Chain A
Amino acid sequence: MNEKEIFKEISFNVVQGRFRSEDEGIEEGLEGRPGVKDLVQKGIEAGVSPKKIVVNALTQAMDSVGKKFESGEYLIPDMLASAECVGGAMDILKPLLSKDGVKTKGKFLIATVAGDLHDIGKNIVKIILKGEGYEVLDLGTDVPADKIVETARQQDVQFVGLSALLTTTMRSMEDVIQKFKAAGIRDRIKVLIGGAPTSQEFAAEIGADAYCSDAFKAVEYLKQVQPA
């Protein structure tokens, strides 16, 4: 397999959501064929640059998954299977990338805000962003504003994603943003918000940088503010 074929196979299997060789794909009968894990390892052994694997295979495949999700062709489990592949591939590649002097795309802190225990959406965003090459710090659910601000400062985080599923808890997002201001770090942080009751208008009202209706909207926004 040459470099191009390896990229093609990795992309195909990310889109099929197959990490290990025993995994089933979207299509029938792929069990037993090499999965993303095997192919990435094969690529590394063959001397393919880890950075190229990320850019030419993983990122492109995830773009295509995002489009399929957007169009309704892919549903949540399909997207998660693909994201799992990319996340797993990144775990293999990360040590090599840092050896090559390639940095991650940045630190992304993610949390469900105070009073709210919903985390399905947050976890999806986390997996997708990890797959995109961000270093994701997940603070969990019901996270007090102070803890978010303190962690963001200590860890020198560039991006913060806030999630809420309740109309009663979404207000806590504003609290977090105000505390970023009070701490004097609002300018160096991009705040992304999401969750069922939130909206573009709400984001504008509380002074968030972006409203994301799903994980891929977050990726889209991050690409705008941080071109590859």
Chain B
Amino acid sequence: MIIVGENINGTLPEVKHILLKQDRDRLLELAQSQAVAGATFIDVNVGTGIGSRQNELAAMQWAVGAIQAEMDIPICIDSADPLIIEKGLEIRNGGRALVNSVKADEKNITQIVRLAKRYDAQLVGLAMNAAGIPETERDRLTACRKIAVACRENGFSIENLYFDPLVIPISADARQGRVTLKTIAGIKSQFPDAKTIMGLSNVSYGLPGRSRLNAAFLHMAIYEGLDAVILNPLDEAVMSAVKTARAITGKDRHFRRYMRSFRYPAKEKTKNE
């Protein structure tokens, strides 16, 4: 399962500071701690909300360059701006990369799909359109279909497409947990060759005990067929949930991953401390 570490996000005050100061050591620390905890991709979002597009371009170039100069880990380039995405793709080393993201919006869907194709990257397609996030799974699947069509028209293989069903805080609308899960199921049945990905932690926004909710939601999503997840890998509860869910759904052959984490109870305890 692909685990995208979400901790390098310019909207977080600490990260904003790192990006503004170009604090290389602390950036690498953030990337390394996530990799050690089990992240298989590092998300890089340089949108700090301040400064110009030029600043953001420079920040993307700096951050991706700094991480990949030290670490052999693929980057998830997190931006809706085709120019910034391209900057990230340009600077990345030859390996795997994930573009996060494109939505069913005429404005730049073709441009982003073509970028992903040209740079041989994988692509996250959000189940939303120009008007925003649809409330029902039916409308989210319609958005997915538009993205699938754009991929086909531009020769981008749907096997490299990760649909994001979108996660909305359940605190504001308790029906939304089910909508996300049903959207995953719908994607899996309508686009069997495509993959699925979601940002986990949004589900619990505004509620206490977030990591419990996140872990429970992740179990359900993996049951529905989630292939990849964007989360905070330093959160033991959700990282454990990846392993328990995959063990229960038969996706962890011979329970290798599960066993490696939980075989020795004493060891597990010291690891948690």
**Which A residues are within 8 Å of any B CB, using their own CB?**
17, 23-26, 28, 75, 77-78, 80-81
- Closest CB in chain B relative to A69 CB, distance in Å: 13
- Assess whether B21 is interfacial by the CB under 8 Å rule: no
Tell me whether B260 is interfacial, beta carbon within 8 Å: yes
Interface residues of B in 152-192 (CB under 8 A from A): none
Task: Report how many residues on chain B are interfacial, defined by Cβ distance under 8 Å.
Answer: 8
Please state if B253 and A23 are interface contacts (CB–CB under 8 Å).
yes
Q: Name 8 extra pairs, CB < 8 A, besides A23-B253, A78-B254, A80-B254.
A: A24-B253, A24-B257, A26-B256, A26-B259, A28-B260, A75-B263, A77-B254, A81-B254
Are the C-beta atoms of A75 and B259 separated by less than 8 Å? yes
Please give the distance in Å from B253's CB to the nearest CB on chain A: 7
Contacts of A26 on B, CB cut-off 8 Å?
Answer: 256, 259
Task: Offer 19 A-B interface pairs, CB within 8 angstroms, sorted by A.
Answer: A17-B254, A23-B253, A24-B253, A24-B254, A24-B256, A24-B257, A25-B256, A26-B256, A26-B259, A28-B260, A75-B259, A75-B263, A77-B254, A77-B255, A77-B259, A78-B254, A78-B259, A80-B254, A81-B254
A-B pairs with CB below 8 Å: how many? Answer: 19
How far does the alpha carbon of A81 sit from the alpha carbon of B259 in the complex, in Å?
13
Chain B residue contacts of A17, Cβ below 8 A: 254
| B contact residues around A24 at 8 Å (CB) | 253-254, 256-257
Closest beta carbon of chain A to B172's beta carbon, Å? 41
Compute how far the CA of A23 lies from the CA of B256 in the bound complex, rounded to whole angstroms: 10
Cα distance A77–B247 in the bound complex, in angstroms: 11
Q: Which A-B residue pairs are the 3 nearest by beta carbons?
A: A24-B256, A81-B254, A77-B255
Distance to closest chain B CB from A31 (angstroms): 10
Shortest CB distance A37–B (Å): 15
By a CB distance below 8 angstroms, the chain A residues around B254 are 17, 24, 77-78, 80-81
Assembly CA distance A24 to B257 (angstroms): 9
Q: Chain B residues near A80 (CB, 8 Å)? A: 254
A16 → chain B closest CB, angstroms: 10
Looking at B254, B257, B260, B263, which has the most chain A CB atoms within 10 Å of its CB? Answer: B254
